[in-house]
Amino acid sequence: MTEPLLSIRDLRVTFATDGGVARAVDGVSLDLAAGEILGLVGESGCGKSVTAMSVLRLLRPPARIEPGSEIWLDGRDLLALPERAMRSIRGRRIAMVFQEPMTALNPVLTIGHQIAEVVRVHERASRGAARARAVAALEQVGVPDPDLRARQYPHQLSGGTRQRVLLAMALVLHPAVLIADEPTTALDVTVQAELLALLADLQRRLGMAVLLITHDLGVVAELASRVAVMYAGQLVEEAPVQELFARARHPYTQGLLEAAPRLAPRDGPHGSGGRHGGGAGRLRVIPGTVPPATAWPSGCRFHDRCSAAWDRCEREAPPSHAVDASHRARCHLAAEPERRAALPVALTGSVR
Amino acid sequence: MRSFVVRRLVQAVTVAAAVTTLTFVLIHLAPGDPLAGTMDDPRVAPSVRAHWRQVYGLDRPLPVQYVRFLTGVARGDLGFSVSYNEPVIAVIRRAVPNTLMLAGTALVLSFAAGILIAVIQVRREGTLTDRALGAISLGLYSLPDFWLAQVALLAFSYWLPIFPAGGTIDPVIHPYLGPAAAALDRVRHLVLPAVTLAALTAAWIARFQRAALLDVAADDYLRTARAKGLSEWTILVRHALRNALLPVITLFGLSLSAFVSGAVFVEKVFGWPGIGSVAVDAVGARDYPVIIACTIIGSILVAAGSLIADLLYMLADPRLRRAEGDADGGATSAVAGA
Amino acid sequence: MTVTRPSERGGAVWVPVGPRDAAPPERERRRPAYGPWRALWRRYRRDQGAVVGLAVLATIAAIIIAAPLLAAYPPDVPLDIIALKSQPPSWLHPLGTDPVSRDVLSRVLYGGRVSLAIAVLAALTAATVGTLYGAIAGYAGGAVDAIMMRVTDACLSIPRVLLLLTVAALWGRLSIGGLVLVLGFTGWFGVSRIVRGEVLALRDREWAIAARALGAGATRTLLRHILPNVASPIIVAIALGIGNVILLEAGLSFFGVGVQPPQASWGTIMQDGADQVRALWWLTVFPGLAIVTTVMAVHAVADGLRRAADPRSGYGARP
């Protein structure tokens, strides 16, 4: 197996809050290979955005990356780099796109200026040359009339266009890694589809690795080659995308997959009783809510919401078991196949 | 844009009219005869008194007087000063440039210093530097202006005789100085009063600018800038400050009135012959036309400055300009005027 | 006041309406455990500067109120026009004596009463006038509001000191009461704008509309529902107003246009020493220090109030 491009090892991030220390990210290890799209999935508050921000060291106090965490790129631990070296990585080797295109651009500077700024900061380019590259980047992300747009201000652009601009800003220096934190969440559905297609296309053309963070399984299904699922600050499952959708092993993942709304009910036009609770397509939800990061539950953090839990789950935190060569799950069930076999069908995760 | 300028000009004129009306009302509300002070001088013959009464229209009904007053001000006829023995307009014409020079210099100095202090405070937020600067700001902001002027005079004119003790120029030597030396002489006389006035305002501006910067500090585009690999200073100055300056420009407009007020006492202590000194002297000398004229002129200056501030704001905030290609249906995020 | 709302299972659910009506009627007399004022105080307490400011202010106020007890001499009686004229600070006279041989310490103490009283009363006057004006403008809206605010804007353009000088010139010597009124009536413009803005915003909130829908008249809605929510900015404005008026009164008195001698105020004491600032430095320095300390404390308190009233979520207090 080739050396991964970006390697996160045992990342722990804490926040000092009024209610205690919040362990937002608690021992996450991830590998991102060159040219692959890794989807990082989870509910709000599971720590995926914090993980992403840690890679570029964009977190500020009271957030703290605990010692013992490592993030490797090009054979260097990013967390040990001096700030100046880190700055040369940001925007050049690793770029990041955020969720809110409406507020992510400086309202008093032109689009062209903001994109050209990336070029001028990292390379010795003249104003004219940098601007030309900015316009070229706009064209590459499919912004019509790029020269005009470069002279405009953010408030003159729509949300979809702004997100394209942010992509252009991220990609103008052809970084090796793109971290996209919920890039389409704030956009209309049609615009979402366009942007995802654009992202897929750019990734193919530029051959960069993408860490795609989202709570939307549909997005993951469309773009990602591998998926990692986070819950309560930890990775609970990791698998190639097809494998995850077909044979999810962690009850949380199964719950997420079940909870995705569908147009047609599962068992015929009127649904059946029993496991669907009657009526056509009542959404299956995961009972309970995400616990606060200051007080993760004991043992397996999902045990109080898991329908397959038993006493071991409350006592003992499960390690990450290898279900397959490329499939891991943090669940005791993975180590106890007999117990798994005894569960009702609904809980074994045979989901279409 | 043009309609905006026109509207604001109209507003400035309205202000002038309003102030004139207000002063008229005050004059006639006040006990006693507006001319009483000046005309009490026993050397004034009754016929002269009657004549001036007629000239001032004091024998006419009130509405007529009002109209005469208003038109007089509009024409520039602000009455006659008995303490200077010349038309008030001449007194004003001499005094206004001095005030403009002092206030203008002080404004520039105070904004420069205030913004600089605020930037340093935010860059070093939470450290001793931040708190020390904050305490100094609070202190300066709490000083009586005339007191600071006196202390400044004491310190830098008596104990450490660096600067002259008042006035705009050296009364004795100035006529004999060559152009460069004459300019230097003026500058030397300007320093203490301008710095005094600036110090008081700078503290205030620093507080507001700091608050504005901290307000902006949570904005998303700063996170984007950081992700691009920019240094903290660049982010602070080129991104945050550019946005945080906007409320301060608004503040500039609103603060002019206080600024002119502060200038009054400072001018008097330093013997700086501007509107402020003239006004204070006029009160003592019961020279009503002069003090009234000073108030009207002062208000007009403030209105004019406020207009300039609003224009500056419009230039600085691209969201308020009508630019090319607005057809994208993008948000006209109208910044609601204060 | 409650309103019925159909519940999902049929039948009615009684829903309380309006901010003051969270408790059912029989519990109205009892204070809630964490009312808004308690919460304000708790937040205020966390700010060190503000707490220090409040302590200093309280100390100054206490000292000044206790002036008759603390002052060794009366403030307006020449003690010994020959031997004690213009004496520098000494054990007997810690702040020295003035050219008329009055004890400066006593004058500073009694003068403080005058200066502070004027400041507090003027600030309250300004706040009252401004609040009424702003509330009416904000509540009425439309043309009335526009006209009223135009007037305020015009008034805001007039430099306050010049206006005060004009009034002083026209009216001659002002009594202390007159001074309070004049200072108050020249300082309400800013408050009115703030109050108008808040009232305008709050007028169309659901609970205000609900109050009106249930029959509360305009006055009642304003007074009992809207204004209590505007209390914090008004209080901050009062605090700032006090600071400003202390400075203003000192200046006016110093130039002979405010409090008249021989009445002691911090400004008039400085006026006594104005001719010989170098020689009689104590007449300038001590009242000045008193003013600076008091105003700094007032500003610290105002800052603390402002921060406490507008808590930003996140990492620590922002100014």
Alpha helices in A32-107 (DSSP H): 48-55, 83-89
- B318 touching C, CB under 8 A? no
- A169 touching B, CB under 8 A? yes
**Going from the N-terminus, what domains does chain A have, and what CATH number goes with each?**
4-230 (3.40.50.300), 275-351 (no CATH)
**What average pLDDT does range C139-150 have in this prediction?**
86
The closest alpha carbon to A197, from A261, A141, A262, belongs to: A141
A244 CB-contact burial (10 Å; exposed 0-12 / middle 13-18 / buried 19+): buried
Under an 8 A CB cutoff, do B227 and A155 touch? no
Phi, psi dihedrals of residue A238, rounded to the nearest 5° = -150, 125
**What average pLDDT does range C215-224 have in this prediction?**
69
* Contacts made by residues C30-35, CB under 8 angstroms, sequence distance 24+: none
pLDDT of B331 reads 37
What three-state secondary structure class fits A179? strand
* Residue C292: CB atoms within 10 Å: 19
Q: Which residue of B has its CA nearest to A149?
A: B325
- Distance from A199 to chain B by nearest Cα, in Å? 19
**What average pLDDT does range C216-223 have in this prediction?**
68
* Residue B220: CB atoms within 10 Å: 16
Rg (CA), chain B: 24
Burial code (b: 16+ CB inside 10 Å, e: under 16) for A147-186 equals: ebbbbbbbbbbbbbbbbbbbbbbbbbbebbbbbbbbbbeb
Helix orientation angle between C227-254 and C189-203, rounded to the nearest 10 degrees: 170
Token pair, residue A72, equals: 């490797």
According to DSSP, the β-strands at A37-41 and A226-231 are parallel
pLDDT of B36 reads 53
Token pair, residue A3, equals: 């050396």
Residues 6+ apart with CB under 8 A from B229: A87, A88, A89, A90, A91, A92, A118, A121, A122
The C-alpha atoms of residue B288 and residue C171 are separated, in whole angstroms, by 11
**What average pLDDT does range A19-26 have in this prediction?**
86
- Distance from B306 to chain C by nearest Cα, in Å? 9
- B158 touching C, CB under 8 A? yes
**What average pLDDT does range C75-101 have in this prediction?**
82
The C-alpha atoms of residue A79 and residue A57 are separated, in whole angstroms, by 7
pLDDT of A227 reads 94
Question: What is the number of residues in chain C?
Answer: 319
Token pair, residue A44, equals: 């709000």
pLDDT of A117 reads 92
pLDDT of A285 reads 80
**What average pLDDT does range A203-220 have in this prediction?**
89
Rg (CA), chain A: 22
pLDDT of B338 reads 31
B153 sits in which H/E element: helix B145-153
Q: What is the pLDDT of residues A100-125, one digit of tens each?
A: 888 899 988 999 999 999 999 999 88
pLDDT of B133 reads 92
- Please determine, for residue C249, whether its predicted confidence score (pLDDT) is greater than 90: yes
pLDDT of A114 reads 93
Min mean pLDDT across A156-170, B306-320, C234-248 is at B306-320
Phi, psi dihedrals of residue A15, rounded to the nearest 5° = -125, 135
The rounded percent of chain A whose pLDDT value lies above 70 is 91
**Sign of the CA dihedral running C40, C43, C45, C51:** negative
Chain B, residues 65-94, CB within 8 A of chain C, namely none
The C-alpha atoms of residue A228 and residue C166 are separated, in whole angstroms, by 76
Show residues of chain C in contact with B299, CB under 8 Å.
157-159, 162
Nearest to C169 among B207, B268, B291 (CB): B291
Show residues of chain B in contact with C154, CB under 8 Å.
14-15, 18-19
Show residues of chain A in contact with B325, CB under 8 Å.
145, 148-149, 152, 156
According to DSSP, the β-strands at A177-181 and A94-97 are parallel
0.95 exceeded by pTM: no
The C-alpha atoms of residue C93 and residue C91 are separated, in whole angstroms, by 5
Phi, psi dihedrals of residue A10, rounded to the nearest 5° = 50, 50
Nearest to C166 among B139, B257, B292 (CB): B292
Q: Which residue of C has its CA nearest to B34?
A: C170
Q: Return the higher-pLDDT residue of C31 and A202.
A: A202
The C-alpha atoms of residue B32 and residue B63 are separated, in whole angstroms, by 19
Under an 8 A CB cutoff, do C161 and B261 touch? yes
Q: How many CB pairs under 8 A join B and C?
A: 148
**What average pLDDT does range A39-49 have in this prediction?**
85
Domain ranges of chain C: 49-316
The closest alpha carbon to C265, from C115, C118, C78, belongs to: C115
B102 sits in which H/E element: helix B88-123
**What average pLDDT does range C88-108 have in this prediction?**
85
Residues 6+ apart with CB under 8 A from B70: B17, B20, B21, B24
| Subunits close to B (at least 3 CB pairs below 8 A) | A, C
The C-alpha atoms of residue A237 and residue A258 are separated, in whole angstroms, by 16
The closest alpha carbon to B317, from B302, B337, B297, B303, belongs to: B337
Show residues of chain B in contact with C157, CB under 8 Å.
15, 19, 257, 299, 302-303, 306
pLDDT of C291 reads 94
Collect the ranges in chain B with pLDDT lower than 70: 1, 32-45, 48-60, 322-338
Instruction: Please report which confidence band the pLDDT of residue C59 belongs to, taking 50, 70 and 90 as the band edges.
Output: very high
Phi, psi dihedrals of residue A214, rounded to the nearest 5° = -160, 160
Show residues of chain B in contact with C295, CB under 8 Å.
142-143
The C-alpha atoms of residue A318 and residue A342 are separated, in whole angstroms, by 20
The closest alpha carbon to B135, from C41, C319, C57, C238, belongs to: C319
Question: What is the number of residues in chain A?
Answer: 352
CATH class of the structural domain C49-316: mainly alpha
Q: What is the pLDDT of residues A258-296, one digit of tens each?
A: 877 766 655 545 444 444 444 455 777 888 888 888 888
The C-alpha atoms of residue B4 and residue A270 are separated, in whole angstroms, by 64
- B269 touching C, CB under 8 A? no
pLDDT of B41 reads 59
What three-state secondary structure class fits A239? strand
Q: Which residue of C has its CA nearest to B158?
A: C278
Under an 8 A CB cutoff, do B295 and C162 touch? yes
- Give one DSSP letter per residue of C103-134, joined into a string: BHHHHHHHHHHHHHHHHHHHHHHHHHHHHHHH
> Mean pLDDT, chain C, as a whole number?
79
Token pair, residue A146, equals: 């790029």
- B224 touching A, CB under 8 A? yes
**Residue that is written with structure tokens 């507008």 in the block:** C310
Q: Which residue of A has its CA nearest to B243?
A: A108
Q: Do B240 and B296 contact (CB within 8 A), yes or no?
A: no
Q: Do B260 and C159 contact (CB within 8 A), yes or no?
A: yes
Chain B, residues 268-327, CB within 8 A of chain A, namely 316-319, 323-326
Min mean pLDDT across A194-203, A316-325, C302-311 is at C302-311
Q: Return the higher-pLDDT residue of C124 and B336.
A: C124
Interface test with B, best of C52, C148, C155, C162 (most B CBs within 10 A): C162
| Subunits close to C (at least 3 CB pairs below 8 A) | B
Q: Do C115 and C250 contact (CB within 8 A), yes or no?
A: yes
Residues 6+ apart with CB under 8 A from C139: C199, C200, C203, C218, C222, C226
Token pair, residue A70, equals: 């490592």
- Please determine, for residue C158, whether its predicted confidence score (pLDDT) is greater than 80: yes
Under an 8 A CB cutoff, do C162 and B141 touch? no
